Amino acid sequence: MFIYELAKALEKEKIPYALVGGHAVALHGALRGTIDIDLVVAWRLKTLEKLEQVFHQLGLESRLPIHAKDVFTFRDEYIQNRNLIAWNFYDPKDLTRVVDVIINYDLRGKGVDVIKTQKVPLKILSKKDLIEMKRAANRRQDIEDIKALEKL
């Protein structure tokens, strides 16, 4: 499964990350289907550059003609004036391999839970921080995810 391949590559490069979105909701125990992998990272240029390298090694390409330095440098511009909250990567050979890096969130200072699997540990944003993040986004799916997470 791609999520394990991705987590293994991120661990190998020591990239601080946490899964968010549908995968994190499901790993916390609430039923939720999703294909794309959403993640957050510690917001540093070096982290983004290493992340971009890992994605390229996995065959992923940025949907937009931007690079790590652009995302880091123009983050506020992208968020405020272009309504861009995720830096999207995809595999042109396998369109089920999609990763969104959430750019309006910094992992530093947030809680991370580790889910042990037979293949590789998966890091997910803590339930408390995930609910807080989803509350700030306030989209229909986020509201449904919050309800599901709060029932756990």
| Domains in the chain, CATH or no CATH each | 2-140 (3.30.460.40)
List pLDDT tens digits, range 12-67.
999 999 999 999 999 999 988 899 999 999 999 999 999 999 999 999 999 999 99
Residue 18 to residue 39: CA distance in whole angstroms = 6
Closest by CA position to 48, among listed 63, 61, 67, 21: 67
pLDDT score at 87: 98
pLDDT score at 31: 86
Report which secondary-structure segment, H or E, holds 44. Answer: none
List pLDDT tens digits, range 74-105.
999 999 999 999 999 999 999 999 999 999 99
Residue with tokens 């809680």, as numbered in its chain? 111
pLDDT score at 32: 85
Tokens representing 43 are 């917001």
The SS3 call for residue 13 is: coil
